[in-house]
Every structure is written in structure tokens, then in C-alpha cells.
Amino acid sequence: MVTWSYEGKEVTGHSDLDPLCTDIVYCIFYTNGQKYIGKKVVRSVSVLPILKTKTRDDGNMITRHILRDEDGRILTSKKARKEARARGIKAKAELYEEVFTDKQFTNYEGSSKETKGLVIAAKEIIYQTSTKQTASYLEEMLLFDENAVVSPDYINANIGGRYFDNCLEGLIENADTQTN
């Protein structure tokens, strides 16, 4: 079985990832020379009030003090709390815990129909992120940078379900590139 790698090191499980990593952006390399770029959730995060009468039975727990403003928005950074106080917003401190639940990823081979039956040569984690939004942005950035949807080197058929491999069919050639 092919294992994941990150920055040249083998990744065999969650202990090899950053403790705050919830999503990865990856590239799978196939023996036919093609590649597939994608993202995968490796941990889910739930923000829960701390139980006063009993403790949660989860070894992946990180506890943080979370401040909420008058509208209930969470103010987690020192900068956000300082700005809220400067504007006269009274923030109420509440004690919450972020519970991280590990998701299986070590045997993951991609979800694309186009990759079924292909033999994997290598699996590389390109980015570790702490939010889905960041993972989505970085995945789409890579797909656009590599022209993955239109390049024969990549198996990706779309970007974010919005831009597909037929997206350039409406391109009219520039007059400079046309032959007379």
C-alpha cells in the first residue's frame, strides 16, 4: 500500500500531522504519469460547552476560552477581543472545548470516478489547513495554477463543480495567432 508523504516525510496517521490540521490538500500520482489534485477532511471539529458534571471521554480534546460579543459571534483572537473592547462591545467569556474527531485518511485513494482502476504511484500532502475554507481556496488555486482541468497531465474534470474540462470550447482564437 502506498503511504502519504508531507515535506519528504512519511505520514502514517494523525500523529504525523499538525495537531490543529483538519483538512489536507493533496496530489495523487499514478503510474500512467497522470496526477489528481484534491482535498480531504482528516479531522472534524465540534465546539461544545464544557460539561460541568462529567468529562468527555476523548483524547483529542483541546480546551480554549472563547469570547462572544453581544451578537453571539465568537471572538477568538486577541486582536478581535481588543477591537471589540475599543468599540465598547462587552464580550462575555464562556468556556468551550473544541473536540477534534479523527477521520480515516491513510487508505484514501480519491473520490473521482476518473481514477477508478488506476494504479497509485505516490500520495503527497501539499498543504495542511485548519479550516475547510482555506483547503478549498488552496485546492482551487492549485487547480487553476496547473491548468489541471484542461491539461492531459491531470485527471481533474472540474474545479469546485463550476469550471469543467469543456470550459474552453467557447474560446475564439486571437487574430494574432490565426493564419491567413
**Which of 84, 100, 116 is the endpoint of a domain?**
100
Which one-letter DSSP state was computed for residue 154?
Answer: B
Range of the domain at 58: 47-100
- Convert the pLDDT of each residue in 53-97 to its tens digit: 444 555 444 445 556 666 666 666 666 667 767 777 665 555 667
Query: What pLDDT score does 100 carry?
Result: 84
Tell whether 81 and 32 lie within a shared domain: no
Q: Is residue 79 part of a domain?
A: yes
How much of the chain, in percent, has pLDDT values that exceed 70? 73
The residues, ordered by sequence, that sit 6+ positions from 63 with a Cβ below 8 Å of its Cβ are 50, 95, 96, 97, 98
Tell whether 34 and 53 lie within a shared domain: no
- Convert the pLDDT of each residue in 129-178 to its tens digit: 999 999 999 999 999 999 998 899 999 988 887 877 777 777 787 656 55
**Which of 100, 123, 140 is the endpoint of a domain?**
100
Provide the number of structural domains found in the chain: 2
The Cα–Cα gap between 179 and 25 comes to 42
Q: Is residue 148 part of a domain?
A: yes
The Cα–Cα gap between 37 and 68 comes to 37
Q: Is residue 111 part of a domain?
A: yes
Q: Is residue 172 part of a domain?
A: no
Tell whether 111 and 150 lie within a shared domain: yes
- Convert the pLDDT of each residue in 11-22 to its tens digit: 999 999 998 899
Residue 61's SS3 state is strand
